[in-house]
Amino acid sequence: MTAMEADASAPVSGRASYYDGVSAARHQVTVELTPTGLRVHGTDGKLFAEWPFDALESLSAPDDVLRLGRAHNPVLARLEIRDPQLIAALDQRSPLVDLSHRIERRLRGRVIFWSIVATASLVLVAIVGMPRIAAELTPIVPYGLERKVGIAIERQARMALGTGGPGAGFDCGGSQADDRGRLAFAKLMGEIREAAGLPLPLSAVIVRRSDANAITLPGGYIFVFKGLLDRAETPDELAGVVAHEIGHVAHRDGTRSLLQAAGLSFLFGMLLGDFTGGGLVVIAARTVVQSAYSRDVEAAADRYSVGLMTRAHGDPRALAAILDRIAGGAAPGSKILLDHPQTKDRVVAINAAVDAAPGTIEPLLPADDWAALKRICG
């Protein structure tokens, strides 16, 4: 028997006042605690009540008084105890008398523990589970559905990039004077598109952004930034970056990122109790625009670019050349470096892949078409 069990079974008694609930008389009584409950005796030894500990009910009373009744008792009998020793003994023995709040603290501790467990489980699912689930779901998403999602995201992406809307001022080549450059870009994209042979259409535009970057949206939408066109020295360098972005389209990286972001939104919506979905397209657009793919995903897109440029008879080393040049003199706006990790390692890997896949190299655009394309943004 432990010390606590011995204390709980030791007889304790004390003085109290008892009201039988029938008359207004107050009886001076002795309360005796037994291992299972309490007995209330009058001064003449009369047994007024015998209540089990698990049937006690705490009633409202002043701070220095413990007022008890028997739960579900049709007779409103009550017991008022002022003896601190007796009160402490009752607090220790009865699960329904919790003056020291030990039960409350125990329950609060359990709530905190299981809340931490639930949060940790959600975080684990977010870090490990959601990427795997998104990877499994991506191949079964119909291309038609991906294209529809891409249309909605493309509109929002224009706003996220600071255009304020899909106005003509965002796209380069909107004037009659840019017809030659627009045709040159269409010709370049035609060569790459034919070599890619993807099951969904590609829609590429050059946009007025100074970043040396290009981004891909779900559904085959590609934004090539003016800053990248300015930094490119040959049409094959521009085509090499576009081929890299087409690699993301072929591997459906944007769709996988969206599925993962949607899953995370649902998970933490459960955690925070927020399931509003009105801004889902806006969030999706920002997710794609601001996404930074992993090193493995980028390496796969680089290898795709090498293969695609080889099939198009362009220079498969051109992507490495423009990456190396930008890495050597990166401006703050050169987001292609910030979003794509380990540029030097990528350059080495691209050139190594080219050595393993030699092919015939032909200019993808003649010099006059390339000059017109360079002027497409005015």
Per run of 10 residues, the mean pLDDT along the chain (length 378 residues) is: 47 87 89 90 90 84 83 84 86 69 64 76 64 74 85 83 59 80 93 92 91 90 94 95 95 83 58 49 52 81 94 93 78 43 83 76 90 90
Angle at which helix 295-311 crosses helix 235-251, to 10 degrees, equals 120
Tell me what pLDDT residue 28 has: 93
Tell me what pLDDT residue 328 has: 63
Helix, strand or coil, per DSSP, at residue 191: helix
Q: Where are the alpha helices (DSSP H) in the chain?
A: 3-9, 84-93, 102-124, 130-137, 143-160, 179-196, 226-231, 235-251, 253-272, 280-289, 295-311, 318-328, 335-339, 343-355, 367-374
Q: Are 297 and 263 in contact (CB under 8 A)?
A: no
DSSP 8-state symbol, 233: S
| Cα 65 to Cα 17: distance, rounded to the nearest angstrom | 11
1.20.140.10, 3.20.140.10, 3.40.630.30, 2.30.29.30: CATH of 3-99 = 2.30.29.30
The sign one gets for the Cα dihedral 201, 207, 209, 211 is positive
Domain ranges of the chain: 3-99, 141-374
Tell me what pLDDT residue 145 has: 84
